[in-house]
Amino acid sequence: MIRLQIKLRIRTDEAELKAAIAKELHLKPEEFTFEIAKRSLDARDKKDILWIYTIDAKLKNEAAEEKCIRSSKGKISKTVKNVYAFVGEGKEKTEHRPVVVGCGPAGLFAAYLLAERGYRPLVLERGEDVDSRQKTVESFWAGNRLNPNSNVQFGEGGAGTFSDGKLNTGVKDPMGRIGFVLDTFVKHGANPEIRYANKPHVGTDELKKVVKSMRKAAIENGAEFRFNSCVTDVECDKNGRLVALEINKKDKIPCEICVLAIGHSSRDTFLMLSKKPLTLTAKPFAIGLRIEHLQEMIGRAQYGESFRDLPAADYKMTFQAKDGRGVYSFCMCPGGFVVNASSEEGKNCVNGMSNAARNEKNANSAIVVQVNPEDFLREGFDSALAGMRFQQKWEEECFGLCGGKIPVQRFNDFKEGVKTFEFGSVLPNSKGLFEKSELTPCLPKYVKEDIIEAVMGFDHKVHGFADGDAILSGVETRTSSPVRINRNEFGEAEITGLYPCGEGAGYAGGITSAAVDGIKIFERITEKYGRPEND
């Protein structure tokens, strides 16, 4: 197989792409097959935007491939598809099947592969199955009471289920794990374009179907899923080996192996774990606000008048404030919603969400500022849970502004420190009730100042970004886990048999990296242990 690059103007179809490949290879179209390895946009010249395709082509004979490589002057190279293939050969026996705690991407992929290899995992999820969860979340958004165990953060699919379903990641992939994640999503209903898109996304509407399909496949392979099952205690013997899990403060499940994929918002679980013989540390993260603009403005700023012929435009920007802090856009949702993502009574936070079509009127992203353990200490928090307490403090302040509704404010009013009374050209597009407010009380002073500075700076990159009518919503705190649960080179915590995993444990940041970490833990378990003897 050989790899080459093809550049085509927008509005081209597959036939034109194949003709361009044939021309580059000096072959007839019937003399080769191809697949797209990657596709991205070159929009540096807005009057001549190009699709850039990385193509893997297979010719009918190797001699022809070698000839193409020699004659290309370095433009064509040999390539080998990186296919995930891992076979664990563990011999150590266990009496009970492994337990996976959490059904987000880390837990789901660990369980999916354990089931495929005959380990019959038991999956415990504190929230509801995805269909019931959808109804519960929609009820909360309509103004009804929050369910602390099943919401935007908790339930089948994890926090990513109510997001844009972005799959881009900076994780290195020598073993083909990322390709396996994408292929698995496609196998279970995701758009095949995610395999090669430069910034792949599934969309919250499609992601719900995918995780449901993966759960059904795991069950067919011997897995069991129990929803509304929150782990409330972890028990170990005098030798520090895992022996049992307590569920909902009443039932006990014996186990020797537990994949702890609890997610970044499992604060009660963090508190319980902090009292165990485990090492937890506070880690940096970022907090800030969501900002909404008209999607048409973002599209025109990024692509000029060609924006109508292209997918909904996005952006990713970074900025260093005068105080030295990093500020960046996070979880950008083209054509999406701002959602009430709260998971605790008396506390309020927001996130972004897009459907697969990304066809809503507004674009939104979080503009967040890096915060560190030193900042937590200044607020009086100095334990391993200091970052978590820091989050809770500002979420409580946010809740107090509008009694749990999403507080919103025009950017100009935010700069001037006055409450918003009237909207301008941009209207909030939210899932969850909102109310005009003044957002200053729900942020540290330095975070507010850095957000204003960064938004003004981002305007030089995306003209119109600092529009005074842009809508801010608060508060964004769940950018990543505030805690890391220590694990060794074999993936285990100090309690033998306990495998902290994914974003909540501090080893991932986003759907794909969390799924990859779940795969890594599956590998560590199957390297050490054989299939369980009993259920």
Cα(82)–Cα(172) distance, integer angstroms: 12
pLDDT value of position 534: 65
Q: What is the pLDDT along the chain (535 residues), one digit of tens a residue?
A: 999 999 999 988 889 999 999 999 999 999 999 999 999 999 999 999 999 999 999 998 888 898 899 888 889 999 988 899 998 889 999 999 999 999 999 999 999 999 999 999 999 999 999 999 999 999 999 999 999 999 999 999 999 999 888 898 888 888 999 999 999 999 999 999 999 999 999 999 999 999 999 999 999 999 999 999 999 999 999 999 999 999 999 999 999 999 999 999 999 999 999 999 999 999 999 999 999 999 999 999 999 999 999 999 999 999 999 999 999 999 999 999 999 999 999 999 999 999 999 999 999 999 999 999 999 999 999 999 999 999 999 999 999 999 999 999 999 999 999 999 999 999 999 999 999 999 999 999 999 999 999 999 999 999 999 999 999 999 999 999 999 999 999 999 999 999 999 999 999 999 999 999 999 999 999 999 999 876 6
Tell me which fold the domain 99-281+483-528 belongs to.
FAD/NAD(P)-binding domain (3.50.50)
> What percent helix, strand, coil does the chain show, rounded to 5?
30, 25, 45
Cα(420)–Cα(390) distance, integer angstroms: 27
Name the segment(s) of the chain with CATH classification 3.30.70.2700: 2-78
Global confidence as pTM: 0.95
Q: Which helix (H) or strand (E) holds 271?
A: helix 267-273
Q: Which residue has the tokens 């509304």?
A: 228
> DSSP 3-state assignment of 217?
helix
Name the segment(s) of the chain with CATH classification 3.50.50.60: 99-281+483-528
pLDDT value of position 170: 81
Tell which residue, 83, 95, 108, has the closest CA to residue 521.
108
Q: pLDDT digits over 225-253, tens only? A: 999 999 999 999 999 999 999 999 999 99
pLDDT value of position 87: 86
Q: Where are the alpha helices (DSSP H) in 366-468?
A: 373-378, 386-402, 411-416, 445-458
Q: pLDDT digits over 387-446, tens only? A: 999 999 999 999 999 999 999 999 999 999 999 999 999 999 999 999 999 999 999 999
Residue partners of 519: CB distance under 8 A and separation at least 6: 84, 109, 110, 113, 177, 180, 181
pLDDT value of position 535: 61
pLDDT value of position 412: 98
Cα(458)–Cα(363) distance, integer angstroms: 15
pLDDT value of position 455: 98
CATH of 2-78, one of 3.40.30.120, 3.90.650.10, 3.50.50.60, 3.30.70.2700: 3.30.70.2700
Cα(152)–Cα(159) distance, integer angstroms: 6
pLDDT value of position 365: 98
Beta strands 337-340; 430-431: pairing state? parallel
pLDDT value of position 63: 85
Cα(380)–Cα(501) distance, integer angstroms: 29
Cβ-contact 466, 455 below 8 angstroms? yes
